[in-house]
Amino acid sequence: MENEYLRTKKILIVEDDVSSRLYLNKILERTGASLLIACDGREAIAAAKANPDIDIILLDIQLPFIDGYGAAKIIREFRSDVIIIAQTAYSLLGDREKIIASGFDDYIVKPIFPQQLIEKLTNAVRRL
């Protein structure tokens, strides 16, 4: 359903797995946010450069060419203000430190549940 915090936002979804990409797109399109898609780290950086009005980047960690850690670091160099949220398959100890050190604001552990994702993005926007 439409979300008052996300409705006006532009969100970049970065995910290399096609079914996960469609899944995230389906969840987030219901919020009314405008959505952009990238399939790997290089595309994510290019999309962030080409669209300086992106508010949130939902960035997978395991990606071809440049992984999520590397992409976040590069995007941070020209977008200090954008919200970057990692999606990670790992719930390993130590991941959190590496994620925060790479410039992410927060992270979500896969499998991603719709309500949890919406809440995480809404909370990130509300903190601004």
Give the residues lining the site for Mg ion (CB under 5 A).
16, 60, 62
Residue closer to Mg ion by CB (options 43, 60) is 60
Residue closer to Mg ion by CB (options 56, 63) is 63
HSE toward the beta carbon, residue 18, CA cutoff 13 A? 0
CB of 62 to Mg ion, least distance (A): 4
Q: Residue number with the shortest CB distance to Mg ion? A: 62
Question: Phi first, then psi: what are they for 82, rounded to 5°?
Answer: -70, 145
Residue closer to Mg ion by CB (options 25, 62) is 62
Q: Is 17 helix (H, G, I), strand (E, B) or coil?
A: coil
Residue closer to Mg ion by CB (options 32, 42) is 42
Q: Is 48 helix (H, G, I), strand (E, B) or coil?
A: helix
CB of 111 to Mg ion, least distance (A): 13
CA distance 2 to 76: 29
Q: Are 45 and 70 in contact (CB under 8 A)?
A: no
CB of 128 to Mg ion, least distance (A): 27
Q: The tokens of 106 are what? A: 């927060």
Beta carbons within 10 angstroms of residue 47's beta carbon: 18
CB of 7 to Mg ion, least distance (A): 28
